[in-house]
Amino acid sequence: MDRATVGWIWVGGQALLLGALILLPGRDDWPVGSVIGLIAAILFFAGLALIAISALGLGAALTPTPVPTERGALQTSGLYAYMRHPIYTGVLMVVAGMTLRSGSLLHLVVAAATVAFFDRKAAWEEQQLSARYPDYRAYASVTSKFFPRPPRRNPR
């Protein structure tokens, strides 16, 4: 199977998981009071903002699939100096917000599957990025995957 097809399969899997989170009914497996509701809203909207800022930061390198485009360059500045996959982090924040707000253990199971899915999707994407950009492995060795931390530099 070619890379483009595999890339679209990843996108389809992502759509199924996110669609399930949207369409599954909420429940009363845990109380969703004002504090949890506020935390859920903050996660949801901060995640959307992170997605938008990260997508803008990619510029010409932005693609709908995890296959790098020929017209883009490796992005290692802005949010990408702190984490390799800030768009995925934003999506996971949205998922966490939706899950908290749902009050549903079923949502929690789908959210856990979504985290595992994005971990595997990122690993596949990193294989593609390593093949496209010779400097990717060095960048990945000093930059976290999903959760921001100050960038580490190789000692000289």
Could you tell me if residue 138 is inside a domain? yes
Count of structural domains within the chain: 1
User: For residue 101, is pLDDT > 90?
Assistant: yes
For residue range 19-59, list pLDDT tens digits in order.
999 999 999 999 999 999 999 999 999 999 999 999 999 98
Could you tell me if residue 153 is inside a domain? no
DSSP state of 81: G
Q: pLDDT value at position 153?
A: 61
Q: Kindly report the backbone phi and psi dihedral angles of residue 40, in degrees, each rounded to the nearest multiple of 5, phi listed first.
A: -60, -45
The answer to whether 79 and 51 have CB atoms below 8 angstroms apart is no
Q: In whole angstroms, how large is the CA radius of gyration of the chain?
A: 17
Could you tell me if residue 15 is inside a domain? yes
Q: How many residues does the chain have?
A: 156
Q: pLDDT value at position 71?
A: 86
Could you tell me if residue 148 is inside a domain? no
Could you tell me if residue 113 is inside a domain? yes
User: For residue 95, is pLDDT > 80?
Assistant: yes
Domain extent for 39: 3-22+32-142
Pairwise pLDDT comparison (72 vs 110), residue with the higher score: 110
User: For residue 152, is pLDDT > 80?
Assistant: no
Could you tell me if residue 152 is inside a domain? no
Element (H, E) at 5: helix 3-23
Could you tell me if residue 155 is inside a domain? no
Under the banding of pLDDT at 50, 70 and 90, the label for residue 60 is: confident
Residue with tokens 């998981």: 17
User: For residue 149, is pLDDT > 80?
Assistant: no
Phi-psi region of 31 (alpha: psi -120 to 50; beta: other; left: phi over 0): beta
How far is 107 from 68, CA to CA, in rounded Å?
31
Residue with tokens 């845990």: 30
Taking 3-state DSSP, the helix, strand and coil percentages for the chain, each rounded to the nearest 5, stand at 65, 0, 30
Looking at every residue in the chain, the average pLDDT score rounds to 93
